[in-house]
């Protein structure tokens, strides 16, 4: 029987509390990981928060475009150096470098916008079963007597509920490049939209490449598979509440040359399209399935 996890969400929130060295420089630390590298979603969220802390007006991030350049060292603090590219009447832009040992491990540009009126439309949320009718990742990890499952049970800050079945222990029975899942934080969150949008960036990185894996009959337990995020783009359309259930409607338009592209449209429980995300990742396996 698994011991209850010790506030995994609190650990994430603590990691996102950056130390400020000067107006444009911040330092953050990393959460433990099984694979020995800094989790990409963590450094994305920290870089976004660092950029947001340099804003002098009420502007929220509406898009980020970033590249993962090097694997991060879990034991070394990360310095976030922010460059103020532009402050216009409606938009501001910041470039953030996440640096270890004098070299960037992530380079990202964030665009911020003041609240404005404008045209409004969005694609409708697909019809899927509600999260209450689906298996919980927390319960699954808690029931498995395996060190990897126990790590994620103790440290997973978000509950994931896959509509088509999870890929944690085995490939999907049906090969498809489509996937739907619900996700929600396992506890209360800060109310500010900068923090909420950073938490969405943190959480989404763990599932963005799953449609590629589902299409090619892979799972997170596929032996000798090498998976890593290469670049990441996000657009926030409306306010986000990561403390309530969010539906990820995902697809993979292409995989080729050891790379695959994952796309997600993220909806609130009430059906609003709150964000769109795209990520290309490296996926290498010893033998290409037929």
Residues 6+ away with beta carbon under 8 Å from 15:
28, 29, 30, 31, 42, 46
Whether 257 maps to a domain, the answer reads yes
User: Position of tokens 């395996």?
Assistant: 146
Give domain status of residue 220, yes or no. yes
Asked, for residue 19, whether it belongs to a domain, the answer is yes
Give the pLDDT confidence of 83-98 residue by residue, as tens digits: 999 999 999 999 999 9
Q: Which residue has the tokens 């109310």?
A: 191
Helices first, then strands: H and E counts in the chain: 6, 12
φ, ψ (nearest 5 deg) of residue 122: -160, 150
Q: Map residue 234 onto helix, strand or coil.
A: strand
Does some domain include residue 188?
yes
CATH code where residue 107 lies: 2.40.160.210
Task: From 61, 36, 41, select the one nearest 51 (Cα to Cα).
Answer: 61
37 inside domain: yes
Active site residue 279: yes
Q: Which listed residue (172, 229, 250, 252) is catalytic? A: 229
Task: Assess if residue 214 is contained within a domain.
Answer: yes
Whether the model pTM is above 0.75: yes
- Residue 130 has φ and ψ, to the nearest 5°, of -70, 160
* Residues 260 and 273: beta-carbon distance below 8 Å: no
Out of 30, 46, 196, 205, pick the active-site residue. Answer: 205
d(CA 184, CA 48): 20
Q: 229 an active-site residue?
A: yes
Reading the chain (290 residues) residue by residue, the pLDDT tens digits are 455 557 899 999 999 999 999 999 999 999 998 878 999 999 999 999 999 999 988 899 999 999 999 999 999 999 999 999 999 999 999 999 999 999 999 999 999 999 999 999 999 999 999 999 999 998 888 888 777 778 777 778 999 999 999 998 888 889 999 999 999 999 999 989 999 999 999 999 999 999 999 999 998 888 888 899 999 999 999 999 999 999 999 999 999 999 999 999 999 999 999 999 999 999 998 776 65
The domain total for the chain is 1
User: Is residue 121, in this structure, part of any structural domain at all?
Assistant: no
Cα dihedral 237, 252, 185, 151 in deg (nearest 10): -150
In tens, the pLDDT along 100-131 reads 999 999 999 999 999 999 999 999 999 999 99
- Dihedrals phi, psi of 243, to nearest 5 degrees: -85, -5
In a domain, 268, yes or no: yes
In which domain, by residue range, is 253 found? 8-115+131-284
């Amino acid at each position: 029987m698994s011991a209850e996890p010790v506030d995994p969400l609190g650990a994430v929130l603590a990691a996102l509390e950056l130390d400020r060295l000067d107006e444009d420089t911040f330092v953050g630390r990393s959460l433990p990981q099984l694979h020995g590298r800094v989790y990409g979603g963590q450094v994305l969220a920290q870089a976004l928060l660092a950029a947001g802390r340099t804003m002098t007006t009420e502007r929220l991030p509406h898009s980020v475009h970033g590249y993962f350049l090097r694997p991060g060292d879990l034991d070394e603090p990360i310095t976030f150096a922010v460059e103020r590219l532009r402050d216009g009447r409606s938009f501001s832009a910041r470039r953030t470098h996440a640096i270890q040992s004098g070299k960037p491990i992530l380079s990202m540009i964030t665009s911020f916008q003041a609240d404005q009126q404008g045209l409004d439309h969005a694609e409708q949320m697909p019809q899927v079963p509600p999260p209450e009718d689906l298996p919980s990742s927390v319960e699954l990890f808690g029931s498995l007597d395996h060190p990897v499952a126990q790590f994620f049970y103790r440290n997973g800050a978000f509950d994931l509920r896959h509509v088509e079945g999870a890929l944690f222990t085995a490939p999907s029975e049906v090969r498809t490049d489509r996937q739907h899942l619900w996700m929600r934080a396992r506890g209360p969150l800060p109310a500010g939209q900068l923090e909420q949008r950073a938490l969405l960036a943190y959480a989404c990185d763990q599932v963005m490449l799953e449609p590629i894996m589902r299409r090619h009959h892979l799972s997170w337990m596929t032996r000798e598979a090498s998976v890593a995020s290469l670049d990441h783009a996000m657009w926030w359309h409306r306010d986000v509440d990561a403390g309530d259930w969010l539906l990820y409607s995902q697809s993979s338009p292409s995989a080729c040359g050891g790379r695959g592209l994952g796309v997600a449209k993220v909806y609130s429980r009430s059906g609003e399209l709150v964000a769109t995300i795209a990520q290309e990742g490296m996926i290498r396996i010893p033998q290409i399935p037929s």
